[in-house]
Each structure stands twice: as structure tokens, then as C-alpha cells.
Amino acid sequence: MAFEFSDEHEELRRTVRQFFENESDETKVRELMASERGFEDATWKQMAEELGLAGLIVPEIHGGADFGAVELAIVMEEMGRALLCAPYLSSAVLATSAILLAAEETAQKELLPRLASGDATATLAFAEKVSPWDLSAIAMAAEGDGASVTLSGEKTFVLDGTTADEIVVVARSNGNLTLFQVAGDAAGLTREALPPLDPTRKLAKLRFESTPAARISTGDAEPALRRALARTVTALASEQLGGSQRCLEMATDYAKTRLQFGRPIGSYQAIKHQCADMLVEVEFARSAAYSAAFALDEDDDGAEVAAAMAKSFCSEAYSHAAKRNLQIHGGMGFTWEHPAHLYLKRAKSSEMLFGSPISHRAKVAAAVGIGSA
């Protein structure tokens, strides 16, 4: 597949990179990751109102910019470089994609303008304790009918689950996967922050005890949810690409300036090899991430497979780049004061989010018939 960025795409990249350099420097990242909320409301509103990022993939009829996966990939790549602390993946990508692809028109009209304007944030709660990233393993079932639906059970690994204003819950109704809207302050809802591996991205466990919910989808939402997750993992792969690129830049810059025995450490073969390996993996990841984004916008039949490939490639490339970056920085890279460990933690948490590289390769294998009888 051939893909090429337009002048408008490059201008979008320059604009968001400048914004994140100003609003998400290392000092700000450390401040926000240590806070309970994890992001600043003022910055979120600025992202929504001045840059249109909260509604980037929301149709114009609902107050959004009506862009596609390619533009989203550019924005997510820059967010990954900056380690942005914001509910973007949860609200502007995951929840928005689920609402766009699976919710009824009435729910779209009610929810999407609020999300696009930055007046509210949302998240999608679907993972459960058993096989958390497998939609077919979802067991939570809705009780009641009509306006008297309630939910009971538990969801885990919910992105920004403690701060989201609206929670879109995936549960079973008459055997089908269905979307339900639950207010963040609903009765019977308990939100508990999970101990973070990556403090820059907040995860939560949600407990529902006869919690009132509104049904916002009809029929079986599973096919639409699979497409929404493909969009989300493609966006996450682009974020991983941005992080791995930044790790490569940090490592090579340090290798050029750090002297040992009167020579830059980058002149030694062992460091050269590590930097070269990083570059190769980052470029493979770039091809995979961009290919998946363009496939989604072209509505390619293989878009879900491309998304799985991108997540697998980018997860491993980011983890390897973050590890090598830390190693090249030596003892200083292991200290709390150096940002290398922040990228390593983001890399490892993102690697497992929405499924491990192995699980995504298994999806690709199944799609092409490898291992079938």
C-alpha cells in the first residue's frame, strides 16, 4: 500500500508538536502524573476549542472536525513523543469510536457534541477479569428492560475510569453485546484507581451494583465494537511510534555528546549497533502504523488485520527502544530524575494494553488461515 502525507498533514503535525512542546514538557508531565486527576481541565479545553483535537474524528454534524485515521495517527504520534497526560485515548478515540460505530443516532446526538467541545469526557468499559481484551468473553449482563435497565458486576483496566463524566459500558442483553450509558456519578457505581505501572496513564476498576443505565445500541454491537477497537489500537500504535522515535533521538543525541576515554560513546561499535537496531525497528514500526491508518481510511477489508500487525510491531519496537535508550544513558538513565524511565513505563504498559503482541500476531495468523485445520 502506498501512503503519502499532504502539506495539510504536515502542518497539522507542526501545529500539534509545538502545542505539546509548550504544554507537555517534562516538568508538566511529572506534575500531572503525580496528581489524582492526571490532567488539567484548562489544557483539555484548549485542545478541544483551539485545536479541535477532542472532536478530531467526530463528524461535522456533531460539532467535530470530521477527520479520519490518518490525521488521528499524526496527532497520536506527537502525543506519544510528548508523553501527554490527558484522557485523549479513552475519550476522543476509544469511547468516541464506539459511539460512532455502534450507538444509535439519538445517543450520538446527545454525546458526541459534548465530547467534541471538551465539555465532557467519556470512556469505554468492556474489559473483565477473565480474558480482559476478548469481546466474546464479556459476561456482564443487563437486568430489566426499557427505562429500568440496571447493571451489576465489575469492569477492569478502564482508561481514565475514575475521571470520565460518561461511561459507555459493554454488557450482554438477550445474548448480544450492547452499549449502555452510565453517568459518572450514578448510584451504585464505585470507581477505584488501579496501582499504575505507568503513572502518566490512569486505569481504574469499576464496580456496578444495580446501577441505572440507558441502552444506546440495538442488535449485536460486537462487529462494530471490533472495528472501534481496530481504530483504537491503530491510534495507540501511532502513539507508540512517537514514543519510540523520541527514545531513538534521546539515545543518539546522548551517544554523540557523552565522552568516554576522550571519545563520544557513539563511536564505539557496541553503541553503534544498539542505535542501528533501534532505527531499523522504529522504521518498521512506522511503516506498520501508517499502513494501518491508511487502510482504515480507505475502508480496506484487511484494516483489522493491519491494525493487529501495527499494534504488534509498534509495541515491541517501543519497548526495545525504551530499554536501549535507558541502557545507552547508563546509570543516569536509571535515576528518577531522568525521563528515560518514563518512556520505558509508558512502553511496557502500552505493550499490554488491548492485548499483547503475541495475541495480536495470533489474530493475524487466524485471519490468514495459519494454524487452522
Cell 500487525 -> residue: 309
> Cα(371)–Cα(132) distance, rounded to whole angstroms?
23
Q: What's the pLDDT band for 1 if we cut at 50, 70, 90?
A: low
Q: Final residue of a domain: which of 54, 82, 117? A: 117
Helix (H) or strand (E) holding 191: strand 189-193
Are 234 and 358 within one domain? yes
Same-domain check for residues 75 and 129: no
**202 and 302 inside one domain:** no
Average pLDDT of span 147-159:
94
Q: Please say whether the beta carbons of 158 and 112 come within 8 A.
A: no
Last residue of one domain, picked from the residues 84, 117, 150: 117
Residue tagged 486527576 (cell numbers):
37
Average pLDDT in the 60-81 region?
97
In a domain, 1, yes or no: no
Assess whether 101 and 150 both reside in one domain.
no
Domain of 158: which CATH number? 2.40.110.10
Assess if residue 136 is contained within a domain: yes
- 102 shares its domain with 140: no
| Alpha helical stretches, state H, the chain | 7-23, 26-33, 41-49, 69-82, 96-102, 105-117, 222-257, 269-297, 303-328, 340-352, 357-367
302 by Cβ neighbours in 10 Å (0-12 / 13-18 / 19+) ranks as: middle
pLDDT per residue over 294-325, tens digit each? Answer: 999 998 888 999 999 999 999 999 999 999 99
* Shared domain check, 258 and 357: yes
Specify the DSSP class assigned to residue 88.
I
Q: How many domains does the chain have?
A: 3
Kindly state whether residues 108 and 127 are assigned to the same domain: no
Residue 359 lies in a domain: yes
pLDDT, tens digit, 9 for 90 and up, residues 7-54: 999 999 999 999 999 999 999 999 999 999 999 999 999 999 999 999
Is residue 50 domain-shared with residue 153, that is, in the same domain?
no
Helix, strand or coil for residue 60? helix
CATH number at residue 111: 1.10.540.10
Q: Which residues, listed in sequence order, are joined to residue 264 by a DSSP beta bridge? A: 259
Q: Which domain does 112 fall in, by range?
A: 7-117
Q: Which residues lie closer than 8 Å to 35 by C-beta, 6 or more apart?
A: none
* 92 plus 16 within the same structural domain: yes
pLDDT at 145: 82
Residues 106 and 145 grouped into a single domain: no
The answer to whether residue 263 sits within a structural domain is yes
Alpha-carbon dihedral angle through residues 122, 126, 129, 134, given to the nearest 10 degrees: -140
Mean pLDDT of the chain: 94
* Torsion of Cα atoms, 63 then 91 then 221 then 67, to 10°: 40
CATH number at residue 353: 1.20.140.10
Is 97 inside any structural domain? yes
Flag whether pLDDT at 373 surpasses 50: no
CB 235 within 8 A of CB 297: no
> What is 90-134 written as a DSSP string?
IIIIIIHHHHHHHS-HHHHHHHHHHHHHTS--EEEE---SSSTT-
User: Do residue 249 and residue 191 come from a single domain?
Assistant: no
C-alpha cell at 1: 500500500
* Separation CA 315–CA 236 (nearest Å): 9
What global pTM score does this model have? 0.95
Contact 122, 95 (CB under 8 A): yes
pLDDT band at residue 336 using 50, 70 and 90 as cut-offs: confident
**Placement of cell 491510534 in the chain:** 235
**Among 97-111, 202-216, 293-307, where is mean pLDDT lowest?**
293-307
Beta carbons of 24 and 53 less than 8 angstroms apart: no
Query: Does residue 153 fall inside a structural domain?
Result: yes
Q: Which of 190, 222, 254 is the last residue of a domain?
A: 222
- Give the model's pLDDT for residue 371: 61
User: Confidence band (pLDDT; 50, 70, 90) for 155?
Assistant: very high
The pLDDT of residue 101 is above 80: yes
Q: State residue 301's pLDDT score.
A: 82
Burial profile 43-66: b = 16 or more Cβ within 10 angstroms, e = fewer: bbeebbeebbbbbbbbeeebbbbe
In this prediction, residue 268 carries a pLDDT of 86
Any domain includes 169: yes
Residue type, 153: G
In a domain, 373, yes or no: no
Q: What distance in Å separates the CA atoms of residue 84 and residue 359, rounded to the nearest whole number?
A: 27
Q: State whether 264 and 160 are in the same domain.
A: no
